[in-house]
Structure 1
């Protein structure tokens, strides 16, 4: 299972990461470790392991949910912590990812803890003073900068109320501010009437009016990077939650399909070329991790015949990804922690600190090529490769491409080339296979349907 393999990766790097081992499920001790990591560099707590081997635990889902609520109730201000239960053999294991707190210092029942060595200790006055003055090297101050001439009326109140409702479910009776103004103040997204950039991109009715970089551009390029044709361009200029839903809906409508045909049958088996969950996670990652301070840094999503490229401003720290897809367990740090926190409360980020791993493992599990991350000039590009399509090229396909000289043609042209020796159904099956394996692109509908050669070459007739 993916979580187990991730745990094994963590264990290999236990000398490099803040990794606490707890062999007993003691809520008070767990909370002390979480608070200490929040006030330090972040890290991981592994409950059900003594540092050398797994130990026997039996935990119910209700116990894990209660721990989540205790974190949100006992630690202040409300932190960003991911808690998951999985199995190692017959034993329950609890994996807790603690992100370095963006609002240090954090307290557990009014006591400050820091992480020293491999365990939490009560902070002294000097350490508390240092926490108050410290800054996060990867955390931007942009999201907490005031937007000139923006007021609470420029925000979508319904989106804020939905977020409040979701936050209350996680707090086990702890009273969080339940009005939009007070809620934004609590999470440092406004300062008593002064709306911050983070609030505007999260909840703005028309954020592009204030921040031109609040845009997602989706382009479909059926001829690849070297082509000059755009089949479809979608501009999304809205707040992040609405933008996420619209981008998600776009992929649901236009995510390219692949098909397999059975000989002499009209029906075909069809599946999406890209895993849905990985696409959703990729969109969230681009939104949460991008550098919003770059006014020209809109998110661009380019859909090619055999891949999708998602580019956002801001580079992933070099110690997280080695090469193009070797993801290392790491101390998770968000460039925009307030934005990330709101996405977490809304259920858009289910594996905090492991989004990159989720994307990679979704593709690997489905048998796809591993995604690749590249970095250039302050931008990150994630390339998602479609499911490779292998077809058995038949003699008709080879003869047609060798003998037909026009670059654009119809299904009737394909039939006529063979001078009445093939049926319409055979022609349709051949052409559909060639389209879905990237040798042709199809334009138009019905009687106006045309097929155009791409740059992809048939290996049987090259050279």
Structure 2
């Protein structure tokens, strides 16, 4: 199979550098990784001689070995695939930011489509370029000065992650030294990257790390359906925003062709939303303290905006072709990769496009302007709204029956009554007052049923007994409440 076939199968731009190796020899692979890191990045496709049942374990061992042999620390991803009965290891290597990179103390560059040892002249040029390169924002020392402000939970998640280097996990020094091994601290101080990833409230020092999320029917509306500000460790913010999107995007109801059972799935592919958010948080320009990220959810559309523009060398055309990312913040991206939030370093745009196609959505759109920022828009087709209205009118009674069909008439009527009084987000006491039910146990009973039927959601799903708990209608619950 030719390299052109691999480029097409991997959804890459035909201009990207790709090297195909016929044997899984770590020394050969490491030399190519070093060369790609010292140039504009690329892909390595390793063709294995036979199908191995332990391929995932072998892949993990290979990646760990290569990571230990590359210096300084670098981000590259290793995955497996089977194409036309051929087992492959695919290694994606972005362009490095800390040139020169060595493999086993040897420095390699790309020459005539292959990896060769760098000559003395080339090495001098690389070192000189590195010396005059301005220190990027994520590597500058943070003003953070109190270890008490470190997020223990985020540190533990990093240290327990499968991809975290073993020498970091097993090191007996304190947390700051462990982060230093990953270029997230130096001189016993956190870098800006370490700060926004591993402190409890980095927004105190870096207000640009805040994320706003808003949900409304129309942008011109006077009121919002939901509006929140998120701040905290960067990955924790990502998880919270994803939950916000899940709660505020509609679900699509369909009937399975296999068992004819009523099914439900999100109107928007959450995998694509996640990729868009990861890109916005990991690749954006943090140097402007007045910048930020905004997620807008409206009828038939989700927008993810961040301030700044694409990194130099990247444009809309390259993004749409799945061009390998020139990482603006490789230290931040490395932690996202270790935590399994960035599996495809430069092909996240391809994942977004593929997911939108699976969901029969419009082709995602990216816009970039230095003054207006970068926006990703994911939209449903124009005629979706009309078809959904017709479908809802025809299937309203069927929806109610399918959700509540196993309940007694009394239980069904009580659940529907509960749903009909639930407006916005209400506490249990407020629901009871609206229902005028005197018996608290009765309310608890039918509230549990409504939650089990996915008609009612909790504002604090991980803390069901919290005194701050409130309840609100899901998409299912809204449809049932509106049908009565």
Q: Please report the TM-score for the alignment, with normalisation by the length of structure 2.
A: 0.72
Q: CA deviation at 1:119?
A: 1.0
The root-mean-square deviation of aligned C-alpha atoms, in Å, is 3.7
1:235-279: CA deviation from partner (whole Å, max 9, x where unpaired)? 1011102101211222333332233599xxxx9643211112112
The answer for the alignment partner of 1:416 in structure 2 is none
Aligned positions of 1:414-433 closer than 5 A: none
Q: Say whether 1:292 aligns with 2:278.
A: no
* Pair 90,139 (structure 1): closer, same or farther in 2 beyond 3 Å: farther
Q: Say whether 1:258 aligns with 2:252.
A: yes
The answer for the alignment partner of 1:208 in structure 2 is 203
1:56-112: CA deviation from partner (whole Å, max 9, x where unpaired)? 653433332222122112222332111222122111232211112222222222212
Q: CA deviation at 1:148?
A: 2.8
Q: Distance in 1 between matches of 2:267 and 2:6?
A: 26
Aligned positions of 1:24-43 closer than 5 A: 24-43=23-42
Q: Which has the higher helix share?
A: 2
For the 8 Å contact 1:151–1:193, the answer to whether it is kept is no
Q: Distance in 2 between matches of 1:56 and 1:258?
A: 45
Q: SS at 1:134's partner residue?
A: helix
For the 8 Å contact 2:41–2:94, the answer to whether it is kept is yes
The answer for the alignment partner of 2:272 in structure 1 is 278
Q: Distance in 1 between matches of 2:311 and 2:81?
A: 28
Q: Unpaired runs of 5+ in structure 1?
A: 49-54, 398-421, 430-443, 451-463
Q: Distance in 1 between matches of 2:171 and 2:152?
A: 17
1:354-394: CA deviation from partner (whole Å, max 9, x where unpaired)? 11111111111222222111113251101112473553877
The answer for the alignment partner of 1:235 in structure 2 is 229
The answer for the alignment partner of 1:370 in structure 2 is 363
Aligned positions of 1:338-377 closer than 5 A: 338-376=331-369, 377=371
Q: Distance in 2 between matches of 1:199 and 1:375?
A: 27
Q: Distance in 1 between matches of 2:25 and 2:243?
A: 43
The answer for the alignment partner of 1:327 in structure 2 is 320
1:194 to 189, 193, 209: 189
Q: CA deviation at 1:41?
A: 1.9
Q: Distance in 2 between matches of 1:81 and 1:47?
A: 15
For the 8 Å contact 2:109–2:115, the answer to whether it is kept is yes
1:164-197: CA deviation from partner (whole Å, max 9, x where unpaired)? 3326655489966763111222233222233221
1:301-323: CA deviation from partner (whole Å, max 9, x where unpaired)? 01001111110123225864545
Q: CA deviation at 1:143?
A: 1.1
Q: Unpaired runs of 5+ in structure 2?
A: 402-417, 425-484
Q: CA deviation at 1:284?
A: 1.0
1:111-165: CA deviation from partner (whole Å, max 9, x where unpaired)? 1222222111112333333333335999971111222353333321332233133
* Pair 87,137 (structure 1): closer, same or farther in 2 beyond 3 Å: farther
The answer for the alignment partner of 2:111 in structure 1 is 116
For the 8 Å contact 1:43–1:332, the answer to whether it is kept is no
Aligned positions of 1:60-209 closer than 5 A: 60-135=55-130, 141-148=136-143, 150-166=145-161, 170-171=165-166, 179-209=174-204
1:313-336: CA deviation from partner (whole Å, max 9, x where unpaired)? 23225864545x962243421111
* Pair 129,171 (structure 1): closer, same or farther in 2 beyond 3 Å: farther
For the 8 Å contact 1:47–1:95, the answer to whether it is kept is yes
* Pair 363,172 (structure 1): closer, same or farther in 2 beyond 3 Å: farther
Q: SS at 1:80's partner residue?
A: coil
Query: Higher mean Cα deviation, 382-391 or 232-241?
Result: 382-391
Aligned positions of 1:7-46 closer than 5 A: 7-8=7-8, 14=14, 16-46=15-45
Q: Please report the TM-score for the alignment, with normalisation by the length of structure 1.
A: 0.75
Q: SS at 1:213's partner residue?
A: helix
For the 8 Å contact 2:160–2:169, the answer to whether it is kept is no
Q: Distance in 1 between matches of 2:246 and 2:39?
A: 41
Q: Distance in 2 between matches of 1:344 and 1:64?
A: 16
Q: SS at 1:381's partner residue?
A: strand
For the 8 Å contact 2:19–2:114, the answer to whether it is kept is yes
